[in-house]
Structure 1
Amino acid sequence: MLDYKFDTQLLIEGHDLSEDAINEHIAKNIEGDCLIAVGDEDLIKIHFHTNTPWKVLEYCASLGDIHDIVVENMERQENGLQG
């Protein structure tokens, strides 16, 4: 059984974005694992496993324009079903 059900991925497009600040905020405020926040001050790619993907989307949308959003149910994938 998985601790965190949803693989959440997206891009944030904005200005003066900080990988470190985003990584720190998500790690401290949203329960999950496998966090990756990489990019530059204009574009950040997020990858995070969580049970509350809407919190990730809400936070990231507060930073800039979010797009290429993918939320996959890894529990379904583990059971051989579409995510």
Structure 2
Amino acid sequence: MLEYRYDTQLLIEGENLDEDAITEYFNNNFKGDCLLAVGDDELIKIHYHTNEPWDVLKYCSSLGEIYDIVIEDMERQSRGLKG
């Protein structure tokens, strides 16, 4: 069984986005692993494994417009099913 079930990926488009501030927020407020928050001050790519992807979406949507959202169930994938 996986510790963190959902592979959560999305793009955030906004103004004055800060990779370091986003990373710090994730580390202080969410449980998960494999965080990737990369981009520039207008576009950030997020990749994160968590059990609460809805919390990630809520936070990221507060930073700007979110799109290209992909949430895959890695537990299902490990059983050979579509995630």
Instruction: Provide the residue aligned with 2:70 in structure 1.
Output: 70
* Count, aligned residues: 83
Structure-2 separation of matches of 1:23 and 1:78: 28
Runs of 4+ with >3 A deviation? none
Q: What's the % identity of the aligned pairs?
A: 66
**Structure 1: tracts of 5 or more residues without a match:** none
Instruction: Provide the residue aligned with 1:82 in structure 2.
Output: 82
Counterparts of 1:1-83 in structure 2 under 5 Å?
Answer: 1-83=1-83
Structure-1 separation of matches of 2:78 and 2:27: 25
Q: Please tell me the root mean square deviation across aligned C-alpha atoms, in Å.
A: 0.3
Q: TM-score scaled by structure 1?
A: 0.99
- TM-superposed deviation, 1:27: 1.2
What do residues 7-60 of structure 1 show as CA deviations (whole Å, max 9, x unaligned)? 000000000000000011011101000000000000000000000000000000
